[in-house]
Amino acid sequence: MSTTMVAALNAALRDSLREDASVHVLGEDVGTLGGVFRVTDGLAAEFGAQRCLDTPLAEAGILGTAVGMAMYGLRPVVEMQFDAFAYPAFEQVVSHVAKMRNRTGGRMGLPITIRVPYGGGVGGVEHHSDSSEAYYAHTPGLHVVTPATVADSYGLLRSAIASDDPVVFLEPKRLYWSAADFSPAEVSTAQVPPIGRAMVRRPGTSATLLTYGPSLPVCLEAAQAARAEGWDLAVVDLRSLVPFDDETVCAAVRATGRAVVVHEAAGFAGVGAEIAARVTERCFHHLAAPVLRVTGYDIPYPPPMLEKHHLPSVDRILDAVARLQWEQ
């Protein structure tokens, strides 16, 4: 059965709403319209406007409402239409969502899932193409998850909604219409991936590519192209940025002795810098070369005609791998 990422996310929301009456979906245009990307299509018709509710265009108000809902025992799933649209709600995320459990001495958690379509590659303008993961990953008290496959989109969203801690769920919008042989109906509870586990998508011996979200397909393509150069590249899909799976990542890096971190967010103080530091600290005596990064440039997101030069590409990744072979 061929399923798109959008359909998998829709199925995850639908199944969560069916199984748990405390789950509610809210956001701009999530009801009648079914969301800008149609991820919530049909949910209002099936569950009613009280459980899949359209909100005013006020992101801080949407998330503030979700905080109140969670305090009264509900499990709200908030949709932010685009990555940069979530910034007006950032104060709610940092001051309340991330801190409530600590503020109350563990007596009150906020099981809120914040869905954020993010990243570029769709020809969008600057407020529709941000990679904002570093802001959330730097905020203690949040889980930060970003799927890259159809199956993980379903499974990780189910795990996020079931989590008793708040989860920022970053959806790579340029992969929304990617498809795979996957049937949500055939997924058992035991098969739903837990938050905090990376996955080796491709084993290898020459170097390890560490990536997540929208950059995974590019890294897999680079690994395929690298065979012509005689390189056998491993590819690790992080899936969860917080909590971070040091065990899987470090095992993959130690096996090759070389690593490149790939993401499309700006490089300076990005998530890749933290990953490079963690790998260096934990794998120092196994490294044959410095950990390198291939990222977006340290500029505001460029106009659509220029974004292909900004985003990590196969050529840029292979250039980094070539540097690893030379810097011994």
- Tell me the H-state helices in the chain: 5-19, 43-47, 59-71, 90-92, 100-103, 133-137, 150-162, 216-226, 246-256, 271-283, 307-310, 314-326
CA distance 276 to 260: 8
Which pLDDT does position 325 carry in this prediction? 82
pLDDT tens across 4-53, in order?
999 999 999 999 999 999 999 999 999 999 999 999 999 999 999 999 99
208 burial (CB, 10 Å; 0-12 / 13-18 / 19+) is buried
Q: Which residues are tagged catalytic?
A: 128
- Global pTM reads 0.96
> Which DSSP letter does residue 178 get?
-
Weakest mean pLDDT among 233-247, 297-311, 314-328: 314-328
Percent of residues, the chain, with pLDDT higher than 90: 95
The predicted structure's pLDDT at residue 190: 73
* 3-state SS class at 179: strand
The residue-averaged pLDDT of 189-198 equals: 89
Instruction: Enumerate the domain spans of the chain.
Output: 2-191, 199-326
Confidence of residue 125 (pLDDT cuts 50, 70, 90): confident
Strands 233-237 and 199-202: antiparallel
In what side-by-side order are the strands of the sheet with 75-79?
A: 52-54, 23-27, 75-79, 113-118, 167-172, 143-145, 240-242
Between the two ends of the chain, the Cα-to-Cα distance in Å is: 47
Predicted local confidence at residue 231, as pLDDT: 96
- 326 pLDDT higher than 70: no
Q: 266 forms bridges with which residues in the sheet? A: 296
Q: What is the mean pLDDT of residues 211-238?
A: 97
Q: Where are the alpha helices (DSSP H) in 163-267?
A: 216-226, 246-256
| pLDDT attached to residue 327 | 57
Q: Do domains 2-191 and 199-326 have the same CATH topology?
A: yes
The answer to whether residue 86 scores a pLDDT higher than 80 is: yes
What pLDDT score does 186 carry?
Answer: 87
Tens-place pLDDT, residues 126-140: 889 999 999 999 999
The CATH number assigned to the domain with range 199-326 reads 3.40.50.920
Label the pairing between strands 143-145 and 179-181.
unpaired
Q: What is the reported pLDDT for 48? A: 96
139-163, pLDDT tens digit by residue?
999 999 999 999 999 999 999 999 9
pLDDT at position 191, please? 81
Query: How high does pLDDT run on average in the chain?
Result: 96
Q: How confident is the model at residue 286 (pLDDT cuts 50, 70, 90)?
A: very high
Query: Distance (Å, rounded) from C-alpha 263 to C-alpha 2?
Result: 27
The superfamily in CATH containing domain 2-191 is Thiamin diphosphate (ThDP)-binding fold, Pyr/PP domains (3.40.50.970)
Instruction: Assess whether pLDDT exceeds 80 at residue 63.
Output: yes
List the single range of 36-50, 131-145, 185-199, 303-317 with lowest mean pLDDT: 185-199
CB-based contacts of 135, cutoff 8 Å, min separation 6 = 90
Q: At what angle do helices 246-256 and 271-283 cross, to 10 degrees?
A: 70
